Amino acid sequence: GIFWPSMGVTSKKLIGLLDSNDLELRLCAIRVISELGINSSQVIHNLARSLREEPEPLRILALKGLARLGAREVTEMVVPMVLESGALRDYALQVVTAVGAPAVSQLKSLYGGADFHGKRAIASALSQIGGRPAFDFLLGVLPQEPFELQKHLTRCLCESLDGMAPALQQ
């Protein structure tokens, strides 16, 4: 019959490819690792490193992988990326919402220094994460924001409220 190496050997080889100098190979390795759900501290570390130093397509793929793996370990690094523009922001938001409640305090601390688009993104993330701390924060910032942002915050508050258990809505 055909001999298949054990998953451990395959995983090690895939993880090794994350260090390749060949960008295409690294992109493919990230795709396969994400698809197979290979979740180890070494994978998380490599994907996190890719967030810092790489061309945008690799950073986006690393974020997709981290969102899929729900990597709480990289919250500190990913949360500030919600202030980036375009696709990077979208995928950073996916990671942040996958992480959930542990990201709330860092999102709240970023809010004050964010521009209009950053505040919108943070509000959206908080409403998707939900829970009382996120809801109370959104309610608290609502009065001092300009009308356009107030409209978005109001929608976020509604979404957040819809996701809460009735007992928490009191």
Q: Render pLDDT for 21-62 as a digit per residue (tens, 0 to 9).
A: 888 888 888 888 888 877 777 888 888 888 887 788 888 888
Phi, psi of 136 (to 5 degrees): -60, -40
C-alpha Rg value of the chain to the nearest Å: 19
- Distance CA(165)–CA(170), nearest Å, equals 10
Angle of helix 41-53 relative to helix 7-17, nearest 10 degrees? 20
- In one-letter notation, the amino acid at residue 118 is G
Residues 6+ apart with CB under 8 A from 68: 34, 37, 98
> Would you place residue 1 in the very low, low, confident or very high pLDDT band (cuts 50, 70, 90)?
very low
113 DSSP assignment? T
20 DSSP assignment? -
- Distance CA(80)–CA(107), nearest Å, equals 8
pLDDT digits (tens, 9 = 90+) for 139-161: 999 999 999 999 999 999 999 98
Taking the whole predicted model, whether its pTM rises above 0.85 is answered as no
Would you give the end-to-end CA distance of the chain in angstroms?
64
